């Protein structure tokens, strides 16, 4: 999900992503996570780490070689992707276009909420601070 977002909003220089914390990281829309969502994602991350550890002393480069990635590590990542996509949409996405549609929908809602809250009158505390 994040790579699709980064490729779209930050772009690429040759084949490398142009990563920007203000464009890519700070704007990445994440749905509100329940405690169960957090527990599920934590377990997925632990499974990825355990799969990596099972192949010690292989390097990250060795483990993530597309032609030689260990099957248990590939499966751990696929399960993580499925859990994450179900959090976003309740099922697996059909393609990257559908992922971007969902991400931009969430981004639109997120920025509308920020704009709405920016238009509110200042709180009593903020008004009191201005007077001092």
Total of domains in the chain: 2
Residues 26 and 75 in one domain: no
Same domain? For 70 and 53 the reply is: yes
116, part of any domain: no
- Give Rg (Cα) of the chain: 20
The answer on 38 and 18 residing in a single domain is: no
Alpha-carbon distance 10 to 129, whole Å? Answer: 38
Across the chain, which has 132 residues, the per-10-residue mean pLDDT values are 91 82 87 97 98 97 96 98 97 97 95 81 52 46
Say which residue the tokens 């749905």 belong to: 31
How far, in Å, CA of 80 to CA of 122, rounded? 42
- Per-residue pLDDT of 51-82, as tens digits, reads 999 999 999 999 999 999 999 999 999 999 99
Residue 17 maps to a domain: yes
The 10 Å Cβ neighbour count of residue 29 is 17
My answer on whether 40 and 87 are in the same domain is yes
Asked whether residue 40 falls in the same domain as residue 16, the answer is no
Task: Indicate whether 99 belongs to any domain.
Answer: no
Range of the domain at 12: 1-30
Note whether residue 106 is domain-resident: no
Residues 37 and 87 in one domain: yes
Same domain, 37 and 57: yes
């Amino acid at each position: 999900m994040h790579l699709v977002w980064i490729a779209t909003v930050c772009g690429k220089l040759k084949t490398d992503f142009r990563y920007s914390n203000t464009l890519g990281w700070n704007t990445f829309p994440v749905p509100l996570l329940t405690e169960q969502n957090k527990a599920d994602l934590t377990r997925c991350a632990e499974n990825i780490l355990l799969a990596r550890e099972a192949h010690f002393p292989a390097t990250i480069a060795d483990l993530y070689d597309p032609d030689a990635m260990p099957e248990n590590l590939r499966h751990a990542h696929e399960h993580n992707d499925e859990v994450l996509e179900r959090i976003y949409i309740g099922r697996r996405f059909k393609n990257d276009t559908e992922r971007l549609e969902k991400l931009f929908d969430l981004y639109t809602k997120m920025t509308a909420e920020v704009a709405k809250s920016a238009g509110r009158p200042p709180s009593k505390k903020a008004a009191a601070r201005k007077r001092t």
